[in-house]
Amino acid sequence: MDVKIAIAQIDITFGNPQKNREKVQKWIEMASLKSPDIIVFPELWDTGYDLSRLEEIADSNGASSIKLLQQLAKKHKIHIVGGSVANIQENGIKNTLIVINDEGKLIKEYSKLHLFQLMNEHKYLAPGNNDGLFTLMDFPFAAFICYDIRFPEWMRKHVLKGAKALFVVAEWPSARLDHWRSILITRAIENQCFVIACNRVGSDPNNEFAGHSLIINPWGEVIAEGKDEEELIIQEINLSDVESVRKRIPIFTDRRPEYYN
Ligand SMILES: NC(=O)CCC(=O)C(=O)O
């Protein structure tokens, strides 16, 4: 039941997908030397938050970034929670999280449901309309994008459908680092599951980003945490911890949903 996770806590070059793709390739090659099962990248890792230029720099359906990740996943036999990529779809530009298995197959696309007005997402992006559930190595997981973590009901919905670990990809500014840590620890405690959260470091013309990627166990303990510079965080998790915590404090049998609406 052990799963070895690698979080690629990278900086992102603003509005330069080519350079960012080269970096991601290097980081996957470097990470593969440590043989992780799953590697995670941050939100909008190919374009950064260069939202006003997305029409020009984002891919149609994210094709170039997805193709690159598919080749690398297959070559290095590694599952990729491929952060999110900006992609042009028929009904607008989306901020879409992609999951690729170790055979290079695209198994999940989840477009950010909640758009973050403080960073102007609502002016340039269209929201998604599907869930973040997926299965890797026969385990049920779910994935979310940054601002989504402020919506506990959205994450709980995925846990009620079986997710045992919640992946989060982010470009979360340093100004709200305390919110980032507190919210993610709370989501792990209240859902009694793992939280695996990858945030970028560095800055763009509008924000400085916090790093502090986190892996939190179902008891709410931080078992791995990045600092505020680029780093590869490696941590094994044991998914049977989810059942142990749920036996000790059985919130999923004690809840009274008939009173909640
Ligand atoms: N990229 C984001 O969604 C940022 C969310 C954020 O900073 C917040 O405070 O929420």
pLDDT digits (tens, 9 = 90+) for 194-238: 999 999 999 999 999 999 999 999 999 999 999 999 999 999 999
Q: What's the rounded mean pLDDT across residues 47-54? A: 97
Instruction: Tell me if ipTM is over 0.85.
Output: yes
What pTM was estimated for this model as a whole? Answer: 0.98
* Joined tokens for residue 7: 């979080």
210 Cβ below 6 A of ligand 1: no
Amino acid found at 243? E
Structural domain including 246 reads 2-259
pLDDT in tens, 117-157: 999 999 999 999 999 999 999 999 999 999 999 999 999 99
The Å distance, Cα 180 to ligand 1 centre, comes to 9
* Closest approach atom of ligand 1 to CA 44: 1
pLDDT tens digits, 82-100: 999 999 998 899 999 999 9
Please provide residue 195's backbone torsions phi and psi, each rounded to the nearest 5 degrees.
-120, 130
Selected catalytic residue, list 94, 108, 112, 164: 112
Q: What average pLDDT does this structure show over 49-69?
A: 92
**Burial annotation 155-167 (CB, 10 A radius, 16+ → b, else e):** beebbeeebbbbb
DSSP 190-214: HHTSEEEEEE-EEE-SS-EEE---E
> Could you tell me whether strands 38-40 and 79-89 are parallel, antiparallel, or unpaired per DSSP bridges?
parallel
Which residues are registered as beta bridge partners of 170? 199
- CA-CA distance, 14 to 1, in Å (whole number)? 38
Among protein residues, the one with the nearest Cα to ligand 1's atom 1 is: 171
The residue type of 109 is E
User: Residue 62's pLDDT band (boundaries 50, 70, 90)?
Assistant: confident
- 146 is known as an active-site residue: yes
Rounded CA separation 201/233 (Å): 13
**Rg of the Cα atoms in the chain:** 17
Tell me what pLDDT residue 102 has.
98
The string of DSSP codes covering 83-105 is EEEEEEETTEEEEEEEEE-TTS-
Residue 16: the pLDDT is 97
Decide if 19 is catalytic: no
* Burial of residue 174 (number of CB atoms within 10 Å: 0-12, 13-18, 19+): middle
CB of 119 sitting under 6 A from ligand 1: yes
What CATH number did the domain enclosing 175 receive?
Answer: 3.60.110.10
Report the number of distinct structural domains present in the chain: 1
pLDDT, one tens digit per residue, over 240-252 is 999 999 999 999 9
Per-residue pLDDT, 61: 74
Percent of the chain whose pLDDT exceeds 70: 100
Specify whether 112 is catalytic. Answer: yes
Question: pLDDT-based confidence at 59, cuts 50/70/90?
Answer: confident
